[in-house]
Structure 1
């Protein structure tokens, strides 16, 4: 099993090899207090949207999606996840990939909170991971489900705090997804088109479940 320090070095080496910064954008030194306030505000907005009275499930989903689009560095995370395959994709494939990735990412993050009213969001401690990012610990409680930890990795991107990774119960969303996407492309002879088709299928399935 790969040790944590070595795993981090491998991730860093992969990022350098692909010409991508670790956080996908122009990251500056992170301000711990600013990162904490950002996640607190984002969490309050998410809970407010989910718990809003007099709105349909579809309306609450859309409000949650809007909040997450503002909070997350979608393009930076998407490019990091595609890794070395980004350079092999055509400009048209890159554009489609980012559109599909946003839909998948927002759906996956939204599902962490659930659709039913009564969600609670508790802020924990914040710790600096590097000079450029911080990890903000939170706990999410949903009716009828056990509470779970959701940690938000925050960096300053273009002068604004942005979420660059979400860690659920110790599992990094961007590292897990990076491995999954790379496996799909590798199994299909290095064709990025195969990943795009898999993502289209996934989005169709998500839409069918949401409609049902």
Structure 2
């Protein structure tokens, strides 16, 4: 019996290894940088192109929706409360989160023509995402730094976080959302109400 134990242990280890998902493949930093550069060019072309402010905003929003892993970021931010939420609350949350995220990111690039976007340093951050630095310049405003965390989602590079001047968008938002839910007895519905108010305020500020 003692001689069979190593064989049994080896067999069990092999079965467990097969049952586990394959480890995430490292993101190619050159591929991540190329993706952000292409996205940046699209954003600049939309902002600096013809058409009114509303049209340019809509074009920027469409580009960001393609570039950002909205569902993955949204679920990360809601964290453990995702499992607490009902299916209806999950659907409402994702709709409100997408609108809030896209409006906030769009606002960072401004409404005025003359925006410039340059690529900085790229580096491997973890085994499954890379960090790509960019500098955004807007007329009559100081340039600012945006770091884009890029991961592979469904075999395609997607933005999984944006770091502005050293502050992570998804970590900051996760903390804010968690605080709202905690203050309201763990109810996700309270967060949804707060998000609706935020969307209404953003829309009013944009004149919509």
**What TM-score do you get using the length of structure 1 for normalisation?**
0.86
**1:113 counterpart = 2:109:** yes
**Which residue of structure 2 lines up, in the alignment, with residue 206 of structure 1?**
202
CA RMSD of aligned residues (A): 1.1
Query: Partner residue of 2:27?
Result: 30
Deviation at 1:29, TM superposition (A): 2.2
Larger Rg: 2
For structure 1, which runs of at least 5 residues remain unmatched after alignment? 1-25
Secondary structure of the 1:116 match is coil
Secondary structure, in 3 states, of the residue corresponding to 1:50? helix
Q: Identify which of 94, 98, 105 aligns with 2:94.
A: 98
Secondary structure of 1:37 counterpart:
helix
Q: Does 1:64 align with 2:64?
A: no
The gaps in structure 2 that reach 5 residues or longer are 1-22
- How big is each residue's C-alpha offset from its partner over 1:54-83, in whole Å with a ceiling of 9 and x where there is no partner? x00000000000000000000000000000
- Is 1:195 aligned to residue 176 of structure 2? no
Structure 2 residue 153 is the aligned partner of structure 1 residue 157: yes
Q: Secondary structure at the match of 1:146?
A: coil
Contact 1:77/1:174, CA 8 A, preserved across alignment: yes
Q: For 1:123-174, what per-residue CA distance to the aligned partner results, in whole angstroms no more than 9, with x for missing partners?
A: 0010000121000000000001100100000001110000000000000000
- Please say if 1:132 is aligned against 2:118: no
TM-score, normalized by length of structure 2? 0.88
Matched, 1:177 2:173: yes
Residue 74 of structure 2 is matched in structure 1 by 78
Moved over 6 A (4+): none
